[in-house]
């Protein structure tokens, strides 16, 4: 089953004139992505163990595309009172400094907490990126093992393979739409890209002009 979000996303992006239009297009695509996820879980009877307040997967490196970063940045600016926004920015600066010294593998194997996680809760849950929405677990013990042994790359699988594959495919197709339309489809690391988006308005301007959005953020090589 391929997502109905692809033509909708392409159409909405082609017509987008403002940042709000781009954000609305992504929100719609993420909504369809969630529906695809929920309907496959229901049809195949997958028994998920994910529960509100569990954040065992929020210690993994989070890969994102630039529009996801801009949607989160916009939401934080709108929703957080100034002192909390400043606190968040300080946390993001520390995170970015830590991450820039690491290779992708080091980051993936060291339990670096997501700077958006607050006491086990995602502070941007409604606009969290595809990577977080795709994540799911059928096995809490496997999640605990990965958390307790972050350096062990032979960790037991917690995903339903078919669901994970399908969601990964849809996520890739969303990125392909951006790329097809000429937008930057680099895979960035969430925290360091978000820090840059919040501190430098030129990131958004570059992306909207179909240039590379971020200059300092950590990148995940494709393939």
Closest approach, Cβ 117 to ligand SF4, in A, equals 4
Q: Which is nearer to ligand SF4, 12 or 159 (CB)?
A: 159
Among the listed ranges 8-16, 29-37, 109-117, 143-151, the one in contact with ligand SF4 (CB under 6 A) is 109-117
Closer to ligand SF4 by Cβ: residue 58 or 158 = 58
Work out whether 71 is an interface residue with ligand SF4 (CB under 6 A).
no
Q: Rule CB under 6 A: is residue 130 a binding residue for ligand SF4?
A: no
Buried (b) or exposed (e) across 197-223, using 16+ Cβ within 10 A? Answer: bbeeeebbebbbeeeebbeebbeeeee
Among 8, 75, 117, 208, binds ligand SF4 (CB under 6 A): 117
Nearer to ligand SF4, 12 or 128 (CB): 128
Of 12 and 124, nearer to ligand SF4 (C-beta) is 124
| Closer Cβ to ligand SF4, 113 or 172, answer by number | 113
Closest approach, Cβ 35 to ligand SF4, in A, equals 18
Assess 116 for contact with ligand SF4 (CB under 6 A).
yes
128 binds ligand SF4 per the rule CB under 6 A: yes
Could you say whether residue 208 binds ligand SF4 (CB under 6 A)? no
Q: Which is nearer to ligand SF4, 98 or 202 (CB)?
A: 98
Question: Using CB under 6 A, which of 10, 26, 66, 132 touches ligand SF4?
Answer: 132
DSSP string, the chain: ---THHHHHHHHHHH--SHHHHHHHHHHHHHHHHHHHHHHHHHHT------TT--GGGGS--EE-HHHHHHHHHHHHHHS-HHHHHHHHHHHHHHHHHHHTS-HHHHHTTTPPPTTEETTEETTGGG--HHHHH---S-HHHHHHHHH-TT-TTPPP-S-HHHHHHHHHHHHHHHHHHHHTT-----EEHHHHHHHHHH-THHHHHHHTTS---SSS-B----
Scanning 24-32, 84-92, 116-124, 146-154 for contacts with ligand SF4 by CB under 6 A, the matching segment is: 116-124
Residue 14's contacts (CB-CB under 8 Å, 6 or more residues apart) are: 181
Q: Is 156 left (phi over 0), alpha (psi -120 to 50) or beta?
A: beta
Taking CB under 6 A as the rule, does residue 58 contact ligand SF4? yes
- Positions that interact with ligand SF4 (CB under 6 A): 58, 62, 114, 116-117, 122, 124, 128, 132
């Amino acid at each position: 089953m391929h997502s109905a979000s692809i033509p909708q996303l392409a159409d909405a992006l082609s017509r987008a004139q403002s940042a709000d239009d781009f954000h609305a297009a992504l929100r719609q695509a993420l909504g369809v992505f969630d529906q695809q996820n929920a309907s496959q879980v229901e049809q195949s009877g997958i028994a998920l163990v994910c529960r509100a307040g569990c954040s065992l997967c929020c210690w993994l490196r989070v890969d994102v595309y630039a529009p996801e970063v801009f949607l989160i940045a916009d939401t934080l600016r709108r929703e957080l009172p100034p002192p909390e926004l400043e606190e968040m920015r300080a946390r993001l600066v520390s995170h970015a400094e830590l991450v820039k010294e690491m290779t992708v593998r080091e980051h993936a194997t060291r339990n670096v907490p997501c700077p958006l996680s607050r006491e086990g809760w995602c502070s941007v849950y409604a606009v969290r990126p595809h990577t977080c929405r795709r994540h799911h677990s059928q096995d809490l013990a496997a999640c605990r093992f990965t958390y307790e042994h972050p350096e062990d790359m032979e960790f037991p699988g917690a995903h339903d393979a078919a669901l994970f594959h399908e969601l990964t495919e849809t996520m890739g197709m969303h990125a392909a739409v951006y790329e097809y339309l000429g937008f930057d489809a680099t895979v960035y690391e969430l925290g360091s890209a978000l820090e840059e988006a919040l501190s430098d308005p030129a990131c958004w301007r570059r992306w909207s002009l179909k240039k590379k959005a971020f200059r300092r953020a950590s990148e995940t090589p494709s393939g």
